[in-house]
Structure 1
Amino acid sequence: MDDQAELRFNRAAASVGKARAFVRAALPAAQFRERIDDITLCVSELATNAVRHGSPAGHLFLVRVSVNESLLRIEVHDAGESRPVLRVPADDDLTGRGLVLVDSLADDWGTGPRDGLGKVVWVEFKVPEPAAPWDQ
């Protein structure tokens, strides 16, 4: 059975922190304690991209969190048509590292079309196996 939550956010810099807080609140904390920083950093990067590059002015972006027995999936939907591209920034570039971080921290990520205008960018994290009683 999947647990799912979603929320729409304004296209504003302040929405990035709100998206992080939403995802943290939607997660079963005990399951993801060891990866919560990785997860919230990925949310920050995807939400920032939606605000800066994805959603045209006046549009909202949507964050959806789905968890089942084996997988956490976070999707960021926006109305922008351009797909993000993993770049290799130069050492002195001031931007362009967001997807590099996502690629290194998430178990998987990608992009796809969505119903209506725009795209979805998603990240996935495997649900950790429960610790054996003797490991606790």
Structure 2
Amino acid sequence: MPDAKQKFFDPRPESVGLARDFAVTTLTSWGLHAPAEDIRLCVSELASNALTHGSEPGHGFLVRLDAEGDFVRLEVHDSRPRHRRQPAIAHPAETDTAGRGLQIVAELADSWGVEERKPRGKIVWTLFKTGQPAGLVRAC
């Protein structure tokens, strides 16, 4: 089983693209090509949300990937507290230019949720089935 990988990103718009690249590079090094594009898109959505809504001014976000059995767990950690309930999935009008991020995440991931992070902040996590038994996942 490969070791979990994580990376911290500064609070800059360019960090979203860097987080996507980090995810794809990590998944490729693990030999996990099948879920890479869906995970890449979810990293983009969750990192954008972390920058726009989840991080306090001047605070960045952390992306963590872990292969657990035949799943990949993606986490995005930010510095704002968790809402009392899981964020609602928006249903924007066809002409709206925003508000589809969690809808995309819910559609692509096999499971997702939000957890409180100690001492402050939250973790938005997703699980993706890899289609490979744990013994076939390898680190390069």
Contact 1:2 1:68 (C-alpha < 8 Å) held by counterparts? no
**2:119 paired residue number:** 116
Residue identity opposite 1:109 in structure 2: W
Alignment CA distance shift 1:59-1:30 (3 Å): closer
In 2: Cα distance, 1:117 partner to 1:79 partner? 6
Q: Which stretches of structure 1, 4 residues or more, deviate above 6 A after TM superposition?
A: none
Residue 93 of structure 1 corresponds to which residue in structure 2?
Answer: 96
Please list, as runs of the form range in 1=range in 2, the aligned pairs for 1:25-40 lying within 5 A after superposition: 25-28=25-28, 31-40=31-40
Distance 1:115 1:32, change over 3 A: same
Which secondary structure state, in structure 1, belongs to the residue aligned with residue 7 of structure 2? strand
Q: What TM-score results when the alignment is normalised by the length of structure 2?
A: 0.84
How far off its partner does 1:85 sit? Answer: 2.8
Q: Which has the higher contact order (CA 8 A, sep 6+)?
A: 2
Structure-2 separation of matches of 1:77 and 1:33? 24
TM-score, length basis structure 1: 0.87
C-alpha root-mean-square deviation of aligned residues, in Å? Answer: 1.7
What runs of 5+ residues in structure 1 fail to find an aligned partner?
Answer: 131-136
Gaps of 5+ in 2: 134-140
Displacement of 1:74: 0.6
Q: 1:1-136 to 2 correspondence within 5 Å?
A: 1=1, 3-28=3-28, 31-83=31-83, 84-129=87-132
